[in-house]
Amino acid sequence: MEAGEPEAEARKRVRIPFPSKPAAYKAFVAERGDTRAGLEGVCPWWHEVNTYVFQSGFLDADTAWKNWLTSFKGTRAGRRVGYPRFKKRGRARDSFRLHHNVNKPGIRLATYRRLRLPTFGEVRLHESAKRLQRLIGKGEAVVQSVTVSRGGHRWYASVLCKVAVSVPDQPSKAQRARGTVGVDLGVKVLAGLSRPLIDDEPASMLVPNSRPLRTPADAWPRHRRRCREPRRDPRGGTRPDAASDVSTTKSHSAATAHCTS
């Protein structure tokens, strides 16, 4: 700094006004319009959409502004948060979030295979929600919100639930008999233990990685070469594989995904 003040101290005194959620929603109400009354505005069709779609958007914007400002001042831990940007088609994921009143739930399971969303109605689930329905029936789970996002030509609903989990106050009899062990997370192996899991096997002190993480280093060139190989065209001849334009990685799972795409 030209004045001789450290940058970290100068950042802490920054006062940047940004629109809060109540102020932004108030301005939106004044400018939205209404097709039912013949009023033009930025979105006169708002009454056709669930109100929580707008509420969640304003809430996310408010959180983004706060995260950026606290990161700019240095009071937020972790990596530096960038300046908030507007969502843009093709750059951001197509998604929206719905909330409801947990005392009068609007998001609920109609059956094991159908989820009811406010305003939108019932949608069919690809997987069974029997386990979730049982937890809700026992009072052990409460649906908080649902996020609907698009992936390719399909829409996916991610249900956020608050589940009650009973944590014992003290270890069980079997745990006390086994004693205490220290765990050190590693890279070459998943974890290193302070003592063997099996008394007669010292090798049990090291917990190996899962199979995808045990890919030897000499297998990486083979995966990259397989991705670059031309693929046979059913009309005759060969054509370059679409995966050849993708930058190769050292991850076995990423290389496999590129080859099978």
116-139 pLDDT, tens per residue? Answer: 998 888 888 888 889 989 998 888
Comparing 39-53, 190-204, 228-242, the range with the smallest average pLDDT is: 228-242
The pLDDT assigned to 247 comes to: 39
**The pair of three-digit structure tokens given for residue 190, joined into one six-digit string:** 């998943």
**Whole-model pTM?**
0.57
Dihedral sign of CA atoms 31, 37, 43, 48 in order:
positive
3-state class (DSSP) for residue 72: helix
The pLDDT assigned to 22 comes to: 87
pLDDT of 143 higher than 80: yes
3-state class (DSSP) for residue 1: coil
What is the tens place of the pLDDT at every residue in 14-42?
677 777 888 888 888 999 999 998 889 98
Name the percent of the chain lying above pLDDT 90.
6
What is the tens place of the pLDDT at every residue in 61-75?
889 988 988 888 888
Summarize the confidence of residues 88-108 as an average pLDDT. Answer: 85
pLDDT of 258 higher than 50: no
Dihedral sign of CA atoms 68, 70, 73, 75 in order:
negative
- From CA 169, how far away is CA 181, in angstroms rounded? 19
What is the tens place of the pLDDT at every residue in 156-194?
888 899 988 888 888 888 888 877 888 888 777 888 888
For 63, 83, 97, 100, 158, the CA distances from 57, given in Å and listed in that order, are: 10, 17, 8, 15, 17
The pLDDT assigned to 261 comes to: 37
Confidence of residue 76 (pLDDT cuts 50, 70, 90): confident
The pLDDT assigned to 256 comes to: 35
- From CA 87, how far away is CA 94, in angstroms rounded? 9
For 96, 106, 130, 152, 160, the CA distances from 122, given in Å and listed in that order, are: 16, 11, 16, 21, 17
pLDDT of 1 higher than 50: no
What secondary structure letter does DSSP report for 112?
T
Summarize the confidence of residues 198-218 as an average pLDDT. Answer: 73
